[in-house]
Amino acid sequence: MSDDRLGVGIIGMGGIGAMHARALRELDARARLVAFSGRAPAEPHGLAGRPAERLEPDAVIAHPDVDVVAICSPSGTHAALALAALEAGRHVVVEKPLALYVDDALRVARAARERGLMVSMISQRRLEAEHVALKKALDDGALGELRLAMTNVHWFRDDDYYRAAGWRSTADQGGGSLMNQGVHNVDLLRWLCGPVETVTAQSATLAHAIEAEDTTVATLRFRSGALGVVTTTTATPPGFPATIALFGSRGSVELGQGEVRRWDVPGVPEPRTRGIASGAADPLAIGHAGHLAQWTQIVSALETSGPVPVGIDDALETVRLLSAIQEAGATGVVVRP
């Protein structure tokens, strides 16, 4: 009997891969998990409503029933796996970041355009009610002229976290507080506030015996003229919810993770939040609701040929900004993304 549901293969069935699988299970009428790589999940016959084959990554990509490859493996593998999936004619959903280097991101973008395939980077925090409301308020001019934007990701990871997966300790594999922990808030800040013209930064390894930085501080000048600050760290126990604060000529907002700390926006009511858990000390505490929200939009886009959430061009610009902050921190010079 034929199955018309969207077939998905997951590469990397770790904690994040399992979140994707749980999201797919809730979309069972429209999508199904066909195959996965990595360790077997706790419920191998229940994921997405039917059994899934456990295969090597290249076999997941090549599986005839896989339409979309979800890449949930270590960050340093994202670009190569995305390229392999696109070359095999598969759409791609990739965990943050799309790639570690701009040149690799450009290669993925070129391959997607040449083949007419979708790439969506998981940026599920953009879909949270408070961020949707803030974006609309900015676009509508309710905050007036944006003057200052700040995001702080002051988290904590112990030594066991770094020992559990070697790539987390190494910058060229996507480790470090900026690329691994701070990426979502950097993406949010860029999405909310617009393009960045210049970056300065400093970085250091302050609390862990690792090669990658565990603390980065950056300043941004946005194309609009507004200034910004980004701080990321895994060296501040016990870990604190990440925040974003925007200050305009007419109003200001400060958001935590799943909470509105301040909403001073004339004429715009404070949005309701769903109170998500913070990943400040436990990276898996956030749950899968955000992944479900983005997967719902991805499935709809593929069913209707509609707009893709956080598509390839958007994902590329986030890689440009992350890379610029890293370069500025390493060199001490002003960098243009």
pLDDT in tens, 9-63: 999 998 899 999 999 999 999 999 999 999 876 655 445 456 789 999 999 999 9
Amino acid identity of 42? A
Are 327 and 196 in a shared domain? yes
Are 224 and 116 in a shared domain? no
Q: Check which CATH number belongs to the domain holding 78 and give it.
A: 3.40.50.720
Q: What is the pLDDT of residue 278?
A: 55
Are 237 and 249 in a shared domain? yes
Averaged pLDDT for residues 314-329: 98
Q: pLDDT tens across 248-260, in order?
A: 999 999 999 889 9
CA–CA separation, 69 and 240 (whole Å) = 33
In terms of Cβ atoms closer than 10 Å to its own Cβ (0-12, 13-18, 19+), residue 179 is buried
Is 277 a residue whose pLDDT tops 60?
Answer: no
**Model confidence, pTM:** 0.93
- Of 38, 329, 324, nearest to 198 by C-alpha is 324
**Domain span at residue 12?**
6-124+291-311
Between 109 and 38, the more confident residue is: 109
Are 27 and 161 in a shared domain? no
Is 241 a residue whose pLDDT tops 50?
Answer: yes
CA–CA separation, 27 and 6 (whole Å) = 10
Are 326 and 183 in a shared domain? yes
CA–CA separation, 167 and 169 (whole Å) = 5
190 lies in some domain: yes
Mean pLDDT of the chain: 93
Q: What is the pLDDT of residue 258?
A: 87
CA–CA separation, 214 and 327 (whole Å) = 15
Residue 286 pLDDT class (50, 70, 90 cuts): low
Q: What is the pLDDT of residue 48?
A: 47
Beta bridge partners of 156: 235
Contact of 236 with 248, CB cutoff 8 Å: no
Q: Check which CATH number belongs to the domain holding 229 and give it.
A: 3.30.360.10
Residues making up the chain, counted from first to last: 337
Are 252 and 324 in a shared domain? yes
Are 131 and 213 in a shared domain? yes
Q: What is the pLDDT of residue 190?
A: 98
Is 163 a residue whose pLDDT tops 50?
Answer: yes
CA–CA separation, 247 and 85 (whole Å) = 42
Q: Residues near 159 by Cβ (< 8 Å), separated by ≥ 6?
A: 208, 209
Between 278 and 55, the more confident residue is: 55
